[in-house]
Structure 1
Amino acid sequence: MIAEDPEHGYGAVVTASGRVSVAREYSPAVSEVPFNTVQLSRLDEALTLSARSTGLGFSVYLGDLGEDTRSRAEELHASSGENAASAVLLAVSPGQRKVEIVTGAESTRRLPDRACNLAVMSMVASFKEGDLVGGLVSGLRMLSDQAGTAKN
């Protein structure tokens, strides 16, 4: 006869052989990353190609930007440290429906506001269709094209 084992709690019993058998509910781990591996690979490739072709450091932030989205995006950009002058940050807060592009001193010369605005419009069009990765990749490509090739 099998009965619940008071020492091990609910779902555990001591079998006739004396072995303790414990049943546990299986709950798959929930990923906090909004992208699958294929999407991450696409985004990584776009970031790598953008940086390699332009010589600028591109990065993407995805998440809540707080109440003052521009200030928060500028803080994130500044965290690039000594590379901030040639860095470009695409900060996207889907929940807030906000997109911010922050450029450094060097990258600003190569990416005027007009180019950044066009990239944002392209990204937003994809975001509206539910294609977050496609929008980010499209924005990176547009910014890379505008920035031109790296100066050697």
Structure 2
Amino acid sequence: MTAGDRELTAGPMLAQQPEPTAETSQLAAAEHRAELIEEHHYGQPEVLEGPFSTRQLLRLDEALRTADRATGLTFSVYVGELEEPVRDHAERMHQQLPHVASAVLVAVSPNQRVLEVVTGGDARRRIPDRDAKLAALSMVAAFGGGDLAGGIISGLDQLATRAGRG
């Protein structure tokens, strides 16, 4: 983990888009998450094999939605390989998220044993680097115990709790 303009931490991919309107929010968020956990092969989506069971994916999805609703920020999770330098790769992924200033990315690469938490400017004011590092340490402890999904869910909860209502 490094401090700087943004805080970084690391795992496979899930994400949630912000909710533009009450009527389109659930559909748009579900479609975006589906895009992030599918691989497009000749225009046809194909579900990726990954470290999570269906139940764990549902729990992660709910944790993302809960964090978004509770804070007004946009939380996303990426689990997979990160290119070197890892920080730069996580920051580039963060820059591709909608509403970058209020976006929080948790990027985890289990094989590389790396966790990065990247926060946009508005999100960082609500989740200081120290608090992001504490959430990251908690996630790493869970990962060490073999609980990747539980660690991410716990970390999202800690980050959202620290951010509070926006």
TM range (shorter): 0.7 to 0.9
Is 1:104 the equivalent of 2:116?
no
For residues 38 and 129 of structure 1, the distance between their equivalents in structure 2, rounded to whole angstroms, comes to 19
- Following superposition, the deviation at residue 146 of structure 1 comes to 0.3
- Which position in structure 2 is the counterpart of 1:44? 61
CA RMSD of the aligned region, Å? 1.2
Q: 1:137 to 1:149 in 2, by over 3 A?
A: same
How many residues align structurally? 120
Q: Secondary structure at the match of 1:95?
A: coil
Matched to 1:130, the amino acid is G
Secondary structure of the residue that 2:51 maps to in structure 1? coil
- Report how far residue 70 of structure 1 moved: 0.3
**Cα deviation, residue 36, structure 1:** 1.0
Deviation at 1:33, TM superposition (A): 2.5
SS in 1 for 2:108: strand
> 1:93, 1:31 → 2: CA distance?
16
Alignment-derived partner of residue 40 in structure 2: none
Give CA-to-partner distance per residue, 1:20-79, whole Å, 9 cap, x none: xxxxxxxxxx96122111101110110000000000000000011112110000000000
TM-score (norm 2): 0.70
Structure 1's unaligned 5+ residue stretches are 1-29
Match for 1:33: what amino acid? G
The answer on 1:53 being equivalent to 2:80 is no
Superposition TM-score, scaled by structure 1 size: 0.76
Percent identical among aligned pairs is 55
SS at match of 1:102: strand
Amino acid at match of 1:74: E
Aligned to 2:90: 73
* Greater RCO structure (CA 8 Å; 6+ sep): 2
Unaligned runs of 5+ in 2: 1-46
Q: Within 1, Cα distance between the matches of 2:59 and 2:67?
A: 12
Pair 67,51 (structure 1): closer, same or farther in 2 beyond 3 Å: same
Which ranges of 4 or more aligned residues in structure 1 deviate by more than 3 Å?
none
- What is the identity, as a one-letter code, of the residue corresponding to 1:103? T
